[in-house]
Amino acid sequence: MANTGVTDVPASIRGYLRANMTAFADVEFSDEDNIFEQGFVSSMFAMQLLHYIESTFDVEVPDDGITLKNFSSVSRMADLVARLRTATGD
C-alpha cells in the first residue's frame, strides 16, 4: 500500500533497513554511510529495497535510476524519492 503522505522519507527508509536487515539491528549508521561498501546489502535485498521505495512512496524508479549511487545510502535514496516526486508533481 502506497503512503504518499510520508514526510520523513529518511526515517522511513532507515526504519525499513533496521526492520529487514539483521546487520542493521545493532549497528549505528548515518544517513550518509554507504550500505553497499559496508557489505550489508545483497543483490536480492537491493531489489526488495527498490520495491519498498516504489510502493511506499508511490514513485516509479526508471531503469536509468536503478544505480548503486542512488541506493548507496539513506540520504541518496531520500534524494531519489524527492527528485521523482518533483518530476511527477507530488
pLDDT in tens, 50-70: 999 999 999 999 999 999 999
Q: Is 40 helix (H, G, I), strand (E, B) or coil?
A: coil
Give me the half-sphere count of Cα atoms (radius 13 Å) on the Cβ side of residue 57: 29
C-alpha–C-alpha distance, residues 17 and 22, integer Å: 9
C-alpha–C-alpha distance, residues 58 and 38, integer Å: 28
What's the pTM value of the predicted model, to 2 decimals? 0.85
Structural domain 9-88, CATH architecture: Orthogonal Bundle (1.10)
Inter-residue contact 29 to 35 (CB < 8 Å)? yes
Amino acid at 37: E
Range with the poorest average pLDDT among 1-10, 21-30, 34-43: 1-10
**pLDDT of 72:** 92
What H or E segment, with its residue span, contains residue 71?
helix 68-71
C-alpha–C-alpha distance, residues 42 and 19, integer Å: 15
